[in-house]
């Protein structure tokens, strides 16, 4: 064999192996997807339980609304039948057989009166009595979800699978609860209508029932179609989330500046195009399958069932006179109704399955037991300032590959002023989050007054702290609300003014149209105030002055302040914090000079500690960083 042929042969073999591997991979992927989807389906018992849960939500808000909704259907469905098929048959038959018209007129009058009564009461109920019921049910659902959202630990927000459920629960809860109600309403309507029409058909000719039952054979096609629909919705979710994010970057104020710089908007438009392509790919993936399902259903329904029954009825009427003309007309109408109701009953059960699946996320979220909560024998935290100890604390964020805090042990005496310094990413903010018990340590323990903080009730423990976060947020509410961060009470105006004075924000706030009652941001108020970042930070700092907690934590409190404001704020804070513990984090090491104790963090560990003098004498990393900053201020050669 020539060398060229050998190479070509090897290439062919390699291609065959690659193709086989790709096929095997595709098969494995499909199997995995199938298993995943199978897992997503709920057992019947759980479906029923979720449906009952949804109905229970509505009942708990308004039993009257609930009862009326269904009683209405129970009355309306038979009336609809009696004023439709049944009436037509009666009229035609009485004309055909020459019966007195009086019976028809009496029947008509009774039906008209009943319809009138039901319509009037319906109108009154829906437009007057139950106005606002929708909103009431919506608000009750949201309230439950929001309360739970405020209880779950921060780690939940960082776990994608949990966060997905949370977002879905928020998106779907109300809608799904109401959809369960509508589906049940449809079920009742269709069952009653089916029963009335089948009874009539059976009375006319029992053979007709066979035609009516034919759509049941198409039940599996309907289930398949519903499954396709659900899969399609589930597959769309991640793409929709990405698309919503892109939209947010175009309309939210916080992105507006960056979007105008460089070419970010083109980059985002590209992302939008990518989501469009993904949507199209999904449509292609499901479009044909859904079309095939529809063809089968349409042909099965209209051609086989309705046409078959019609031909049979016409044949019986014309050939041997086994049916009256009235019966024949009713068959045409009722057979469509029966087959429609039957096939839709199958859909109705599939719909319950679909609602139950979405409600499962809602229930998962509502039933979630927060991991950070009061232990059984929790006691209130001490009211006075107490020592804080960390003993060999390690911590790793959910899903992270490495520990962020490693074996941290430190002691903070009651009333001490502590500076926590270190490079970006060294773990300072994480340490604060553990102190606040926003996370539990992965190992070791945090103690207050010699007792593990998990032994204290969560609320009383968090009351120990006033904290200004590095990534503080302003709410679109009044300045006073933003300072107090709680429900207002008497005497608050003085407290807010005092706090704003101490943090250096008062002068600016006093110049606003409505002083401390001015709304921050213009999102909901044309007279709202848009403040500079530094001004906002001063308002955030006022939060610490407004609380009398034994411990104050300030994470980068002066990052946006000018040097004069920073100096005044620190002086005021130290005065106001007399007798309280202050822990502050700052990259400006000049503010650490007066601290009683400084902890230097590096790579999740405490690598140096002591007061400023001790650390400078030690000549380690702190001294190096301090000198570097001082040089930048006063020029090279400056001494500490
Ligand atoms: N929610 C989170 N999930 C996963 N990792 C996180 C999370 N928050 C912070 N980290 C990681 O933990 C490390 C420490 O972050 P931390 O915010 O505590 O640093 P820091 O010392 O406060 O930094 P800076 O000075 O920039 O504020 C970083 O490497 C960061 O990537
Ligand atoms: Mg930080």
Tell me, using a 6 A CB cutoff, whether residue 183 lines ligand 1.
no
Closest ligand to residue 395's CA? 1
Is 28 found in the same domain as 82? no
Q: What is the pLDDT of residues 459-506, one digit of tens each?
A: 899 989 998 888 888 888 899 999 998 888 888 899 999 999 988 899
Q: Please tell me the predicted confidence (pLDDT) of residue 616.
A: 93
Q: Which of 148-162, 375-389, 584-598 has the lowest mean pLDDT?
A: 148-162
- The pLDDT-based confidence of 638 (bands split at 50, 70, 90) is very low
Closest ligand to residue 604's CA? 1
Task: Inform me whether the pLDDT recorded for 4 exceeds 70.
Answer: no
Among residues 621, 625, 627, 624, the alpha carbon closest in space to that of 640 is found at: 627
Q: Which of 205-209, 343-347, 545-549, 632-636 has the lowest mean pLDDT?
A: 632-636
Q: Is residue 156 part of a domain?
A: yes
Q: Is residue 433 part of a domain?
A: no
> Which of 393, 396, 429, when mutated, tests ligand 1's pocket best, judged by the most ligand atoms within 8 Å of its CB?
429
Q: Which sign, positive or negative, has the C-alpha torsion 311, 316, 317, 320? A: positive
Tell me, using a 6 A CB cutoff, whether residue 430 lines ligand 1.
yes
- Of 497, 517, 548, which residue sits at a domain end? 548
Q: Are strands 605-610 and 597-602 parallel, antiparallel or unpaired?
A: antiparallel
Is 134 found in the same domain as 148? yes
Q: Is residue 464 part of a domain?
A: no
Tell me, using a 6 A CB cutoff, whether residue 604 lines ligand 1.
no
Is 33 found in the same domain as 48? no
- Buried b / exposed e over 139-165, threshold 16 CB at 10 Å, is ebbeebbeebeeebbebbeeeeebeeb
Q: Is residue 109 part of a domain?
A: yes
In order, the DSSP letters of 452-503 are EGGGB-HHHHHTTEEEE-TT----SSBHHHHHH-S---TTHHHHHHHHHHHH
Among residues 444, 324, 464, 341, the alpha carbon closest in space to that of 394 is found at: 444
Q: Please tell me the predicted confidence (pLDDT) of residue 634.
A: 62
Tell me, using a 6 A CB cutoff, whether residue 425 lines ligand 1.
yes
Q: What is the mean pLDDT of residues 195-219?
A: 83
Mean pLDDT of the chain: 85
Is 249 found in the same domain as 127? yes
For the chain, count helices (H), then strands (E): 23, 10
> Which of 154, 423, 427, 560, when mutated, tests ligand 1's pocket best, judged by the most ligand atoms within 8 Å of its CB?
427
- Of 367, 387, 410, which residue sits at a domain end? 367
Q: Is residue 306 part of a domain?
A: yes
Task: Report whether 170 contacts 318 (CB < 8 A).
Answer: no
Is 154 found in the same domain as 212? yes
Task: Inform me whether the pLDDT recorded for 101 exceeds 80.
Answer: no
Task: Report whether 444 contacts 486 (CB < 8 A).
Answer: no
Q: Is 21 exposed, middle or buried (0-12, 13-18, 19+ CB in 10 A)?
A: exposed
* Percent residues over pLDDT 90 in the chain: 29
Is 23 found in the same domain as 129? no
In order, the DSSP letters of 96-154 are HHT--HHHHHHHHHHHHHHHHHHHHHHHHIIIIITTTHHHHHHHHHHHHHHHHHHHS-H
Q: Is residue 24 part of a domain?
A: yes
Q: What is the mean pLDDT of residues 445-467?
A: 93
Is 233 found in the same domain as 217? yes
Task: Inform me whether the pLDDT recorded for 228 exceeds 90.
Answer: no
Tell me, using a 6 A CB cutoff, whether residue 521 lines ligand 1.
no
Q: Is residue 465 part of a domain?
A: no
Is 341 found in the same domain as 318? yes
Is 220 found in the same domain as 104? yes
Q: Could you list the residue range(s) of the whole structural domain that residue 31 is in?
A: 1-38
- Of 548, 575, 607, which residue sits at a domain end? 548
Q: Is residue 297 part of a domain?
A: yes
Q: Is 11 exposed, middle or buried (0-12, 13-18, 19+ CB in 10 A)?
A: exposed
> Which of 153, 154, 404, 436, when mutated, tests ligand 1's pocket best, judged by the most ligand atoms within 8 Å of its CB?
404
């Amino acid at each position: 064999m020539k060398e060229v042929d050998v190479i070509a042969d090897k290439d062919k073999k390699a291609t065959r192996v690659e193709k086989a591997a790709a096929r095997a991979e595709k098969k494995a992927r499909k199997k995995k997807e199938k298993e995943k989807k199978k897992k997503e389906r709920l057992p019947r018992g759980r479906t029923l339980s979720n449906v009952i849960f949804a109905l229970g939500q509505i009942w708990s808000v308004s039993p009257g609304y609930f009862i009326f909704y269904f009683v209405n259907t129970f009355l309306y469905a038979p009336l609809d039948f009696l004023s439709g098929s049944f009436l037509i048959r009666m009229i035609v038959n009485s004309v055909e057989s020459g019966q007195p018209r009086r019976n028809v007129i009496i029947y008509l009058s009774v039906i008209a009166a009943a319809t009138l009564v039901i319509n009037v009461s319906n109108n009154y109920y829906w437009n007057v009595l139950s106005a606002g019921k929708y909103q009431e049910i919506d608000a009750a659902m949201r309230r439950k979800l929001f309360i739970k959202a405020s209880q779950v630990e921060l780690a939940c927000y960082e776990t994608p699978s949990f966060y997905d459920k949370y977002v879905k629960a928020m998106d779907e809860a109300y809608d799904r609860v109401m959809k369960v109600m509508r589906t049940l309403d449809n079920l009742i309507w269709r069952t009653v209508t089916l029963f009335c029409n089948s009874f009539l058909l059976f009375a006319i000719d029992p053979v007709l029932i066979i035609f009516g039952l034919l759509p049941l054979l198409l039940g599996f096609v309907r289930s398949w179609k519903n499954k396709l629909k659900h899969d399609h919705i589930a597959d769309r979710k991640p793409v929709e989330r990405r698309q919503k994010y892109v939209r947010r970057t175009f309309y939210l104020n916080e992105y507006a500046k960056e979007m105008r710089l460089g070419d970010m908007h083109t980059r985002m438009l590209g992302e939008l195009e990518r989501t469009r392509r993904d949507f199209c790919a999904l449509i292609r993936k499901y479009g044909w399958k859904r079309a095939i399902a529809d063809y089968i259903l349409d042909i099965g329904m209209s051609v086989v069932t309705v046409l078959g029954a019609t031909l049979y009825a016409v044949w019986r009427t014309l050939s041997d006179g086994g049916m009256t003309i009235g019966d024949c007309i009713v068959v045409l109408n009722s057979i469509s109704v029966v087959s429609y109701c039957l096939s839709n009953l199958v859909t109705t059960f599939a719909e319950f399955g679909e609602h139950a699946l979405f409600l499962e996320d809602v229930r998962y979220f509502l039933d979630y037991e927060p991991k950070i909560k009061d232990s059984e024998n929790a006691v209130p935290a001490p009211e006075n300032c107490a020592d804080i100890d960390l003993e060999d604390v390690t911590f790793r964020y959910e899903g992270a590959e490495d520990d962020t805090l490693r074996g941290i042990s430190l002691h903070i005496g009651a009333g001490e002023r502590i500076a926590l310094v270190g490079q970006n990413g060294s773990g300072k903010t994480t340490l604060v989050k553990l102190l606040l018990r926003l996370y539990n340590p992965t190992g070791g323990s945090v103690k207050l007054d010699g007792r593990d903080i998990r032994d204290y009730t969560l609320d009383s423990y968090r009351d120990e702290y006033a904290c200004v976060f590095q990534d503080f947020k302003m709410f679109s509410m009044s300045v006073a609300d933003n300072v107090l961060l709680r429900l207002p009470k008497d005497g608050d105006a003085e407290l807010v003014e005092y706090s704003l004075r101490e943090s250096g924000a008062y002068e600016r706030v006093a110049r606003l149209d409505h002083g401390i009652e001015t709304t921050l941001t213009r999102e909901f108020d044309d007279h709202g105030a848009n403040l500079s970042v530094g001004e906002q930070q001063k308002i955030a700092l006022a939060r610490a002055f407004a609380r009398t907690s034994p411990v104050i934590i300030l994470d980068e409190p002066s990052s946006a302040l000018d040097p004069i404001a920073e100096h005044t704020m620190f002086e005021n804070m130290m005065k106001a914090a007399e007798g309280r513990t202050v822990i502050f984090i700052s990259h400006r090491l000049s503010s650490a000079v007066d601290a009683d104790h400084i902890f230097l963090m590096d790579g999740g560990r405490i690598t140096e500690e002591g007061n400023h003098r001790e650390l400078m004498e030690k000549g380690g990393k702190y001294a190096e960083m301090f000198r570097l900053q001082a040089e930048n201020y006063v020029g090279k050669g400056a001494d500490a």
